[in-house]
């Protein structure tokens, strides 16, 4: 410690001199000295030597000494402290504001995201509510749509309910050569009580219209629709001077059947018959094979099984449907799969 040395140096001064030695007060090193009321005064420790008769007396005193530099330092420190506190406060307020803004943005984003999802669900529900799904089948006098005629037609609205089915024989006004295929003989249809195609089309349009949802579309489903049922239907409409309504869309289950068979690793034949699909899915035959209503009933079950295996929604089915104009113009709509 340096204190003994300092005391020794003090004793060397002349008694006629009253030296004052000051030293800065260090916290914890000296006992506290009283500070002046003025914050610019700093207490210093001094040694005063006074001369008295018969000897000298020395004593330590604590004297307030004005120090402007020290005062400025304290003021400056106080200002800096105030500035720092202000900066911390401003930063805290700014951070709080940013956090509130971010929370608001996140909340708004979640609201928008929830609205978009809900809107998408509502749109799909609205879309499904506008689609009428009808399975149909035709029986004909042969394969040529230019020279042969329809002799039986059947429809089933998959939504069910009263009057959900429509079936009738059709008078082709000709002799039937292929009765061994479907069991429909000439004497069964060439009768005055059996409607001709030109008489039947208005009735057929009324039936579909009665099943159609207001402002919606009709999805008509048939097996081998692209190459057989739809071309035959279009040919008969044209021959009788009618047009297929623009809100009618068609779907071919033959394409779906190929996709399912391929996904299950089965050998995919160019033509997969409705009979083969019925056996594949274990569906019981209701009525005679190759009669229009019997085939419609089978296809109604098959279509549901196919779409289930392919995880296909109704909106997917509609997106893969085609219009008759695509066939007449030689176009073939590319499937999305």
* Mean pLDDT score, 8-30: 42
pLDDT in tens, 203-244: 999 999 999 999 899 999 999 999 999 999 999 999 999 999
Instruction: Give the integer Cα–Cα distance in Å for 337 and 221.
Output: 18
pLDDT at 37: 45
Query: Over pLDDT 70: what percentage of the chain?
Result: 60
Q: Which residue has the higher pLDDT, 335 or 264?
A: 264
pLDDT at 108: 61
pTM of the model: 0.63
pLDDT in tens, 293-334: 999 999 999 999 999 999 999 989 999 999 998 885 544 444
Distances (CA, A) of 91 to 77, 79, 95, 146: 21, 18, 6, 85
Nearest to 133 by CA among 258, 250, 253: 250
* Mean pLDDT score, 89-99: 65
pLDDT at 166: 97
Strands 165-169 and 55-66: unpaired
Asked if residues 141 and 177 have their Cβ atoms less than 8 Å apart, the reply is: yes
pLDDT at 286: 80
| pLDDT band, residue 90 (cuts 50/70/90) | low
* Mean pLDDT score, 254-259: 95
| pLDDT band, residue 283 (cuts 50/70/90) | very high
Tokens describing residue 139: 């029986």
Q: Which residue has the higher pLDDT, 51 or 177?
A: 177
Q: Which residue has the higher pLDDT, 196 or 180?
A: 196
State which of 13-17, 34-38, 262-266 shows the largest mean pLDDT. Answer: 262-266
| pLDDT band, residue 287 (cuts 50/70/90) | confident
Could you give phi then psi for residue 38, rounded to 5 degrees? -75, 125
pLDDT at 163: 92
Range with lowest mean pLDDT among 159-168, 198-207, 321-330: 321-330
State which of 112-126, 180-194, 264-278 shows the largest mean pLDDT. Answer: 180-194
pLDDT at 113: 52
pLDDT at 333: 45
pLDDT at 185: 95
* Mean pLDDT score, 136-145: 94
* Given the residues 30, 179, 247, 290, the one annotated as active site: 290
pLDDT of 96 above 90? no
pLDDT of 48 above 80? no
Tokens describing residue 25: 């007060």
Mean pLDDT, the chain, integer: 76
Q: Which residue has the higher pLDDT, 29 or 297?
A: 297
Residue 191 DSSP symbol: S
Instruction: Give the integer Cα–Cα distance in Å for 125 and 117.
Output: 12
Tokens describing residue 199: 């008489």
pLDDT at 172: 96
Query: Is 30 part of the annotated catalytic residue set?
Result: no
Tokens describing residue 168: 């009738």
């Amino acid at each position: 410690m340096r204190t003994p040395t300092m005391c020794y140096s003090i004793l060397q001064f002349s008694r006629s001199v009253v030296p004052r030695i000051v030293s800065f007060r260090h916290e914890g090193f000296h006992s506290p000295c009283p500070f002046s009321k003025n914050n610019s005064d700093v207490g210093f420790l001094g040694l005063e030597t006074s001369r008295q008769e018969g000897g000298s007396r020395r004593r330590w005193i604590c004297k307030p000494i004005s120090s402007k530099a020290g005062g400025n330092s304290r003021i400056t420190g106080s200002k800096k402290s105030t500035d720092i506190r202000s900066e911390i406060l401003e930063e805290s307020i700014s951070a709080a504001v940013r956090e509130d803004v971010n929370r608001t943005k996140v909340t708004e984003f979640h609201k928008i995201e929830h609205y978009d999802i809900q809107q998408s669900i509502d749109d799909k529900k609205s879309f499904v509510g506008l689609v009428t799904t009808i399975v149909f089948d035709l029986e004909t006098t042969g394969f040529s749509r230019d020279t042969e005629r329809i002799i039986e037609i059947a429809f089933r609205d998959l939504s069910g309910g009263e009057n959900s089915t429509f079936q009738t024989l059709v008078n082709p006004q000709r002799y039937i050569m292929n009765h061994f295929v479907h069991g429909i003989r000439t004497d069964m249809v060439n009768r005055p009580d059996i409607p001709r195609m030109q008489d039947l089309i208005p009735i057929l349009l009324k039936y579909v219209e009665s099943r159609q949802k207001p402002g919606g579309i009709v999805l008509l489903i048939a097996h081998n629709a692209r190459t057989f049922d739809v071309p035959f239907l279009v040919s008969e409409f044209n021959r009788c001077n009618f047009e297929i309504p623009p809100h009618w869309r068609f779907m071919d289950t033959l394409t779906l059947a190929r996709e399912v068979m391929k996904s299950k690793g089965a050998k995919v034949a160019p033509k997969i018959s409705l009979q083969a699909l019925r056996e594949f899915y274990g569906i019981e035959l209701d009525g005679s094979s190759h009669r229009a209503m019997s085939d419609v009933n089978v296809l109604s079950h098959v279509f549901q099984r196919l779409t289930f295996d392919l995880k296909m929604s109704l909106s997917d089915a509609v997106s893969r449907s085609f219009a008759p104009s695509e066939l007449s113009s030689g176009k073939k709509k590319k499937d999305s799969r």
